[in-house]
Amino acid sequence: MKQITKVDNTVYFVSCVGEKLPRPATAKDLYASSWFKKARRFAESRGCPWFILSAEYGLVSPDQIIEPYEKTLNNMPIADRRKWADRVNSQIQAVIPQFETAVFLAGQRYREFLIGHLQKRKVAIEVPMEGLKIGEQLSWLGKNGG
C-alpha cells in the first residue's frame, strides 16, 4: 500500500461486510451489501482518505485487489481480535503516519482495540452511527450522502 505523505486531518475507516462478490476485485467493489455501498459513498463524498477494515487482510486500500473470504471479527476470540488490532495499527502507522481524526463506520468489534492505539497517537475518534441498529444506519447514511 502506498503511504499517504501529506498530513490528512481526517481518515475514514469502513468495516468489511459478509456479502461479497464471488471473485477477486478491488476492495471498494468486492463488498456488495447496500450498507457497504452507502458507507463507501459517504466516505468518498468527504474527500478524505478512506480504508477498509478487513477481518482477513487488516487495513485495505479501496483500490487494492483482494480475494473474497469468509472471516469476521464478530465471532473471533478476544485474543485474536487484539492481535488483529495490533496488526491493523502497524499497517495504519506505515500507511498514514500522521492524521488528526479517525471516523469509524464500523461495528464495535472492529473498533474496540484499535481505538486505544489511535488515542495513544492523539488521534480524535468519531463514531457517527454508534448505537444505531442496521436499519437506522442505512437511514443515517442515506440522509448524510451515503
pLDDT at position 7 is 47
Q: Which domains are present in the chain? A: 8-143 (3.40.50)
H or E, element range at 135: helix 134-143
E-strand spans in the chain? 8-15, 25-26, 50-54, 58-60, 65-66, 99-105, 124-126
Residue 3, judged by CB atoms within 10 A of its CB (0-12, 13-18, 19+), counts as exposed
pTM of the model: 0.93
Q: Which three cell numbers stand for residue 97?
A: 503516519
Pairing between strand 99-105 and 8-15? parallel
pLDDT (tens digit per residue) in 75-126:
999 999 999 999 999 999 999 988 999 999 999 999 999 999 999 999 999 9
Pairing between strand 50-54 and 8-15? parallel
